[in-house]
Every structure is written in C-alpha cells, then in structure tokens.
Amino acid sequence: MEHPIRQVSRQQHTNRRSFLKGGAIAAGAATLGAGMLTNPNPVFAQEAGGFPVTRGDIAILRFLSALEQVEADLWIQYTELGGATNQGLSAIDFVQNGRKISTGLAANYVTALEVLDGDMPQYIVDNTDDEISHHAFLNHYVASLGANPVDLSHFAILPPSQVTGVPQTGRLTNLKQLKVDTSWWTRYRSAVQNPDLGGTFENAVPDLASHPHTAIPLNNDDLQLNPDGSIPNHLQAIANTAGFHFAFIEQGGTSLYPSLAQKVTNLQVLRVLLSIGPSETMHFQVWHDKAGNAPAITDGNLSFPNLNLGTDPNTGLTTAGEGNTSTPAPDLFQTNLIMPEPTVFLNSKFGPVSIIRPTDPHLAAQSAVQSFVDDGLFLDASGQNSPIVPVLMRLAEEADEARRGF
C-alpha cells in the first residue's frame, strides 16, 4: 500500500527479514521482541470485550508505541526551537521522564513560523504533548497486558540543532536533512484517485521532495534577521519546510491507526486504536490548513510556489496529471481546499466518498517506517541511517503479520 509515500514490495519484505536474521542489529531487534507476551492477563482480556489479547494485538501496540516515541522525539525538537513559551493564563510546564523541556528557544524561528499562522507555536506545543502522551499510554497499556513495553532511547545518537539553549543530547531523529514528500496535498484533494487503488499523486512543493532541506535552524547563524529587521528568505524557508513537514508526519498516523485496527482481535485494543487515531487526524487537519499559508519564496534550490495561481507547480500547466487522468490544477492545489475530497473507495461502482486515505492494511506498518526513512529522519552526519531503522522495521513486520482472530 502507499503509506504515506510509497509501497513496500513483498520482495523488499522478504529481503529485509533475511537481513534481520543475522548480525548485531538483528540481535537488537530480537531483544525488543523477546518475551513479547511474558505474563498474559486473562482477567483484563475478558473485561476488555471477551476476545483474547493476541500476540498480533501486542505486536501492533508495541509498534505504535515505538513510532509514537519517534514522533515525540521530533516534536520535542520543534517545541524546543519553535514552541510557545506561554499559553495565556495557563503556564506551559513541559516535563518528560522528569526532565523539563524548554520551549521557544529560537525567537526569530518562532516569528517565521507565525507567518504561517499566529497560533503555530501553541499548536506545536500541543502536538508535542499529545505524542508524548501516546507513547507513554501505549507503553503502560502494553505492560498491563503482561508484555514488554518499547524503549528506543538507546538509539538517541543523532545531534540536535546547535542553537543556543538546545540541550546537546542525542536524538532519535534528524530534522536537518529532510526530503519532505508533499503528495499528501494532492492525495486528499483528488476526486478520481485513491492510493489503495493504485493512485499516484503530484507534490505540492516539488523542491521539498527532490533535495534535502532543514526544517529547523542549524545554529544561531540561521536566525539572523535582515538589517531592517525583516525575516530573510532562508529563515522563512526553514519555517515553511517545517510547516509542510508537520502535515507529512501527521497524515501518516491518520492512515496508520485505521489500517492496523483492521488486524486487531481484542475489542479493548481496538478501542485504543480507534480512540488515538482520530487525534492524529485532528493534527493533520490543522497542519494541512497552516501549510497553505506558507509564503511563496525562493531560497537557493528551494522554491515554495504560489499554489493559488491555478497552475500545476510541477509543470506550470492549468491541468494536472493524476495517473491516467487530468484534473484542473486549482482543484488539486488551491490552498483552502483542505477537506478530504470524495474519491473512489473499494470499488468505483459505489461512487465517490470522503475518506481517510490510504487505509489498506497490507504492509501498513512497514510502509509507515519506510516513509520516515525516505524522509531522511534517521540520517546521521555521514548520510547513513542510524541503527534504529532495522529495529523499527522488525517491529513493523511483526505488526503487519497480525491477523484478526475471529
């Protein structure tokens, strides 16, 4: 399935499993999976709806916990640099694992983010808080079922921004070499294509997907303003990149939870997925809207087009290609068309319907991990992926192998 960037083929799936069977990385992955269900709690399972908690249910929960830890890591970095420092009369008091998290350390970056929307810093903080809570809850829930929770903190080896005040501790994710896929923009606006039915989609900002760019200021030099106090294109481009990256990250969760819910056996586990998933959709809707306010600017090899010109930013034409069809460009790129356009689902004979897309459960977890890899989230300074990738993929494989037991 295409989730959110490209499909993971069955051959890739086989090759990856073969790779994971050997070497030190495989040992690390196996350790995470060992004793997956060490102390089953049948009473809890019975109270949870009568159907047992299966090994597949546990695998899905553990994978989602792992991915939420990854998301919490990247959102904390955004919060440190661009998050709100207060929220009116209610003070922001961010703590994770007993450590206070500072917010809004890069004031000029905050200002550039506010060009997209004045509430951007507040929304960043709120999104971060949500992802931290998702990971913590899922780990506690997994433990209550007698299984091992997931902790990827030993893979926190990637350096953060060098902006003054940012804790120089290793991170799980790298926000400085991103290739941001923006095909989610046209995917949700298409009336004739669905990724679950083989649809293909154009990028709203082609340059973001073709070259690596940073979504956070690398150091204090990136925060310098123009002599007249205005925001330079370079700093605004960093903020614009972040705005589109926010939506890219959250559209993944929007699809992932309903995709994996189709594999769950226990009703309470199903309730957990159906309750967390819509919060990811709420995040995506907010960021989809705000990304449309990114000003049309150019910074080196990165240009943000004016998406309201009525032309395809990929071709300059007034029509846009979607697979074997052609659609008026305004329908696919106009910035205020943020509601999911009704499209084909299951079978075209049923007619169009407004839906979350994709939701095909086939290899959903592995495709989500692959999309993060393609995004550049795990690249080190040498351009190599950190050792977290095969571990995440192993957890994803276990989740994808889950089958509903009734």
Q: How confident is the model at residue 51 (pLDDT cuts 50, 70, 90)?
A: confident
Q: Region 238-265: what's the mean pLDDT?
A: 98
Count of H helices and E strands in the chain? 13, 6
Alpha carbons 255 and 312: distance in angstroms, whole number: 26
Phi, psi at 364, each rounded to 5°: -60, -45
User: Given a cut of 90, is residue 2 above it in pLDDT?
Assistant: no
CB 147 within 8 A of CB 38: yes
User: Given a cut of 50, is residue 8 above it in pLDDT?
Assistant: no
What is the percentage of the chain residues whose pLDDT exceeds 90?
80
pLDDT at 95: 72
CB 322 within 8 A of CB 200: yes
Q: Which of 365, 352, 377, 395 is nearest to 255 (CA)?
A: 365
Question: How is residue 131 written in tokens?
Answer: 């992802």
pLDDT at 94: 74
Q: Where are the domains of the chain?
A: 10-400
User: Given a cut of 80, is residue 279 above it in pLDDT?
Assistant: yes
pLDDT at 405: 86
Query: Using omega within 30 degrees of 0 as the cis cutoff, is the peptide bond preceding 358 cis?
Result: yes
Average pLDDT, the chain: 89
Alpha carbons 303 and 305: distance in angstroms, whole number: 6
User: Given a cut of 50, is residue 1 above it in pLDDT?
Assistant: no
Q: Region 40-68: what's the mean pLDDT?
A: 79
CB 239 within 8 A of CB 112: yes
User: Given a cut of 80, is residue 262 above it in pLDDT?
Assistant: yes
How many CB atoms within 10 Å of residue 144?
11
What is the percentage of the chain residues whose pLDDT exceeds 70?
86
Name the one residue in this structure whose structure tokens are 């697979």.
Answer: 323
User: Given a cut of 50, is residue 24 above it in pLDDT?
Assistant: no
Q: How confident is the model at residue 347 (pLDDT cuts 50, 70, 90)?
A: very high
Q: Region 217-233: what's the mean pLDDT?
A: 98
Burial 280-313 (b: 16+ CB within 10 A, else e): bbebbbbbbebbbebeebebeebbbbebeeebbb
User: Given a cut of 80, is residue 62 above it in pLDDT?
Assistant: yes
**In terms of C-beta density within 10 A (0-12 exposed, 13-18 middle, 19 or more buried), how is residue 132 classed?**
buried
CB 394 within 8 A of CB 20: yes
Question: How is residue 38 written in tokens?
Answer: 């060490």
What pTM does this model have? 0.89
Give the three-state DSSP class for 99.
strand
Question: How is residue 242 written in tokens?
Answer: 């972040």
Helix axes 233-261, 120-144, angle to 10 degrees: 30
Contacts of residue 184, defined as CB under 8 A and 6 or more positions apart, other chains included, come to 4, 201, 247, 248, 251, 288
User: Given a cut of 70, is residue 89 above it in pLDDT?
Assistant: no
pLDDT at 324: 55
